[in-house]
Chains A and B, each alone.
Chain A
Amino acid sequence: MINNSRQRIAWFAWALVLVASLAAVRALNQQALGGVSGEEGGADGRFGFTLEESARSLGVDFVHEGPTFDARLDHIMPQVASMGAAVAVADFDRDGWQDFYVTNSREGSLNRLYRNQGDGTLTDVAGDVGLADVNRRDTGVSMGAVWGDYDNDGFEDLLLYRYGRPELFHNEQGRGFAPVGENAGLPRWVNANSATWLDYDRDGRLDLFLAGYWPDNVNLWQLETTRIMPESFEYATNGGRKYLLHNQGDGSFEDRTEALGLTSHRWTLAVTAGDLFGSGFPDLFLANDYGVSELYRNRDGKRFEDVAQDAGVGRSPKSGMNASLGDVFNDGRLAIYKTNISEPGVLVQGNDLWVPKAGGSGSIEYENLASALGVDLGGWSWGAQFGDLNNDGTQDLYLVNGYVSAGERSSYWYDFAVIAVGHSAIIGDAANWPPMKGRSLSGYQRKRVWINDGLGQFTDVAQVVGASDTHDGRAVALADLGNRGALDVIVANQRGPLLIYRNEVAPDRHWIQFALEGAASNRSAIGARVELHWNGRVQAQEVSAATGFSAQNQRRLHYGLGAASEVDRIVIRWPSGRRQTIERPQVDMQHQVKEPDGR
């Protein structure tokens, strides 16, 4: 009798506990979705900034078009031809205004180079300077581009990477671009979605890293076989090879990939370079689709060592699509943001924010704080950039997403999930993939604009500040197009319009910018690290080439200062190793900083 009573009471107690647990699960799920919603009727300024889409009023009417590959891929064409919308920012004519290059991908389509007229308008000059007609069946179609002054003549040159032949264009004093041709020594065919410039050996010349996605021997227009797909959804190593091309200083490049230890054949979608181990040499982070990330530690410019596993960033395979660096805690440590896939009800990989546990030299272990900081769930995420959008002194995060927006009421996700779990013999053959039949795959997604409160929390304010588009975003780049002390946002959408969000920041917030020019270092100053000290805080940024997905921000570094009207100092560590300190630079202005002589 006692036992029966005891068990009956216990049953009621456990029943209550079970119901409460189920309710808690539901509540936690809702809480994780986060985000700030606003009233309809336009952006509001409660977060210190608003974004207004202004492409057409600035003179930009670009719409990306996708390629059409071999007919045997017709049934999944929206997937295999799902990339190519890219944007790279640079002041190519050195007039003090940020210009940008956008890529197109349909065979015969034209890329565009938008020259910033400085009067609030942008004009396409790609045809005039020889950078428009670059998408041909025989050479392949554009997947992205990255600027870098490889010959140190003071003008940014352009590397165009394709599903096809990579091509280097020399900047002729800002008046035109000349193809460097085969003398450059670039590989004949690379199916690449990412590339970057870096001076890996600190010899003062920019070297080139180029990452294949599909294997080099795949011609997507003329398939020899349909067995071209990844051998696994998360463990594939049958992707394209990588190239680290050393700048010989005579306009040519030498392939030193294997000698330097870069033997990966993963499906790389994004690469960024930065000094992550405090050695002064740039390391490489690769965000790989269908697998783990790779973190190549630069050993004194002599070899690269993959330390991703030990560092913690290469243990969990996901679908990496973005690589960007940001000092999210204002403590001088650069965190790595890598995007992945999150589709409610099917696949929730979550994005990764890898934050180093300890700074300085020696081994570093990273921990993924994306969930803790609230930047993990971003849909089918693509490009993302760190930047202080509201000039409050912290690095915010702008994310674009969406894979294939087709039928609004039909989804390919079930079929995608079925094939994704298949063994390599099944998933590896495109013929086994169920046809898409006009269905969407994570389409029409809402973007994320996460503002950083500086205390360890990011809040998505996209819908209330004005970033309300639902295109299939790929690349996003940040640039102060109006030289106003505010980071505008340029978004390249796959098979969609190029968007330019003009950023209107509250006028009481201060800022400062630094445009660096190397002397002993590479002239683009790529790899330079700048620490800004103000108001008891410090924020580190590095000058980089590629960052995000198929994107490049303006090289000029932008810092928001909040209400502070003074800066204590900046400390620059140039790629050459020289250190420079500038005391009390004036705020609310751009500073041109040339690398000094001596040590």
Chain B
Amino acid sequence: MAGDVGVLAPQAGTPAHRPRVLSLENRFLPPILITLILLSAHLSFGVLEGWERTGLSIVTAIGTELVLGRVTYGKWLNPASAYISGISAGILIRSPFLWPYFFCSFISIVSKYVLRLKGRHIWNPTNFGVSAMVFLAPATVTVLSIQWGNVVAPMVVIWILGAIITWRVGRAHISATYVVSFLLFSFVRSALTGIPWLAAVAPITGPMYQLYIFFMVTDPKTTVRPVWGQCLVVFLVAFVEMLMRLAEIVYAPFYALFLVGSIAMIVEIWLDSRRPPERANSQQLSFDPTPNAQSAR
């Protein structure tokens, strides 16, 4: 276990000509973006049943992060990544009960401290939390599965903003690869099942996918290092998602990332262990700068 809890740290394999990735303002872009998405969606369309649910998720995530970080590492950790985890859980989880909002955030954060291999996360925490909730509590928990309003403009704005921000932090290629792959596989699904292509592509027009594409599949801590590897993994995520969708599994994107993402991480960690120590160490150090750098969410 290492004290690597922070936000959007530079990646081995990230092009060196993007020094701004390290700049202070970039660290806050994702939290700002997700906050703007939430505020605009709720103030425009009232997407939240109440502030208390999302508030509970956020407070739980930050509180858990602070307590666990303090106990484990003896330091107060930067809560930015926990904030993203909490706000993501608060938006993604849908339930008439309050307890899922608490547990989704709590499990997400605790999983960061437990499910690690050679100091690295295996699962994106929110992906783990959401997957666990919908798998273990199907009668009481679902994920966000609706449009936010009927207006195209806000959706376009979120896509553009999301694209700009993921580009600035050097993750746009991941989002783009996923979108292209999803569209490609939607043709395949439509051809195989006979459903209209517009129905096959419909899910990606929803806000759940905006969060998934900009905040989950791009998570630096739970993606492999090489750019080509990141693209390959996210392509495979989309492929497995297609298989799951053909099997009519509603939560296909979460389960696909849960499976493919973790396997990719384990493979990379295993490959690292077979490399000469100097090379592996150097890569690990460049990946894991300080406890207060950015984190998985």
A→B interface (CB under 8 Å): 3, 6-8, 10-11, 14-15, 17-18, 21-22, 24-26, 28-30, 32-33, 231-236, 292, 309, 315-317, 342, 344-350, 368, 370-371, 376-377, 411, 413-415, 417-427, 429, 431-435
Contact = CB atoms under 8 A, between A and B. Distances in A.
Given A18-B107, A423-B155, A348 B141 contact: yes
Contact of B139 (A14, A29, A420, A421): A29
A346 B142 contact: yes
13 contacts: A3-B74, A10-B71, A11-B72, A21-B107, A232-B150, A235-B147, A316-B49, A348-B141, A368-B96, A422-B198, A432-B202, A433-B196, A434-B195
A422 B208 CA distance: 11
A381 to B, nearest CB: 12
A434 B199 contact: yes
Q: List the 8 shortest-distance A-B pairs measured between CB atoms, nearest first.
A: A350-B96, A422-B202, A414-B248, A29-B137, A345-B138, A421-B206, A423-B205, A434-B195
Nearest to B251: A345
Contacts of A427: 147, 202
Given A14-B113, A21-B107, 11 more contacts: A3-B73, A32-B140, A234-B146, A315-B50, A316-B50, A317-B146, A348-B139, A350-B96, A421-B205, A423-B152, A424-B150
A433 B138 contact: no
A457 to B, nearest CB: 15
Interface in B195-229: 195-196, 198-203, 205-206, 208
Nearest to B247: A414
A232 B149 contact: yes
A246 B258 CA distance: 60
B139 A25 contact: no
A284 B46 CA distance: 22
Nearest to A237: B150
B106 interface: yes
Nearest to B189: A418
A315 B46 contact: yes
Contacts of A14: 68, 72, 110, 113-114
B203 A422 contact: yes
| Most chain A CB inside 10 Å of its own CB: which residue of B46, B74, B148 | B46
A317 B46 contact: yes
B27 interface: no
Contacts of B49: 315-316
Given A11-B1, A18-B111, A422-B147, A415 B136 contact: no
Contacts of B245: 414
A11 B113 contact: yes
A597 to B, nearest CB: 49
A432 B198 contact: yes
A232 B46 contact: no
B77 interface: no
B136 A418 contact: no
A455 to B, nearest CB: 20
B117 to A, nearest CB: 12
Given A28-B99, A29-B140, A423 B202 contact: yes
A7 B147 contact: no
Interface in B138-168: 138-142, 145-150, 152, 155
Contact of A235 (B99, B140, B145, B149): B149
B255 interface: no
Contacts of A418: 195, 199-200, 202-203
A29 B50 CA distance: 21
Contacts of A7: 1, 72-73
B113 A348 contact: no
Contacts of B195: 415, 418, 434-435
Given A10-B71, A348-B95, A235 B45 contact: yes
A410 to B, nearest CB: 10
A466 to B, nearest CB: 24
B260 to A, nearest CB: 21
A25 B145 contact: no
Contact of A29 (B98, B138, B200, B248): B138
Interface in B70-107: 71-74, 94-100, 103, 106-107
B133 interface: yes
Given A413-B250, A414-B250, A423-B205, A21 B106 contact: yes
Interface in B105-146: 106-107, 110-111, 113-115, 132-134, 136-142, 145-146
A346 B250 contact: yes
A232 B149 CA distance: 7
Interface in B14-51: 45-46, 48-50
A413 B83 CA distance: 33
A22 B107 contact: yes
B73 to A, nearest CB: 7
Nearest to B193: A434
A406 to B, nearest CB: 16
A348 B96 contact: yes
Given A315-B50, A421-B147, A427-B202, A10 B72 contact: yes
Given A32-B97, A418-B199, A18 B114 contact: yes
Contacts of A433: 196, 199
A292 B46 contact: yes
A428 B97 CA distance: 31
Contacts of A411: 248
Nearest to B137: A29
A420 B206 CA distance: 10
| Most chain B CB inside 10 Å of its own CB: which residue of A14, A15, A231, A346 | A14
A29 B96 CA distance: 12
Nearest to B145: A421
Contacts of A29: 136-141
Contacts of A292: 46
Nearest to B207: A421
Nearest to B205: A423
A140 to B, nearest CB: 28
B134 A345 contact: yes
Contact of B133 (A18, A25, A368, A415): A25
Given A24-B103, A29-B137, A235-B150, A376 B199 contact: no
B235 to A, nearest CB: 21
A18 B133 CA distance: 13
Nearest to A345: B138
Contacts of A371: 96-98
Nearest to B73: A7
B196 A432 contact: yes
A422 B196 contact: no
Contacts of A429: 198
Contacts of A423: 147, 150, 152, 155, 202, 205-206
B114 to A, nearest CB: 5
A25 B137 contact: yes
Contacts of B134: 345
B163 to A, nearest CB: 18
Contacts of A434: 193, 195-196, 199
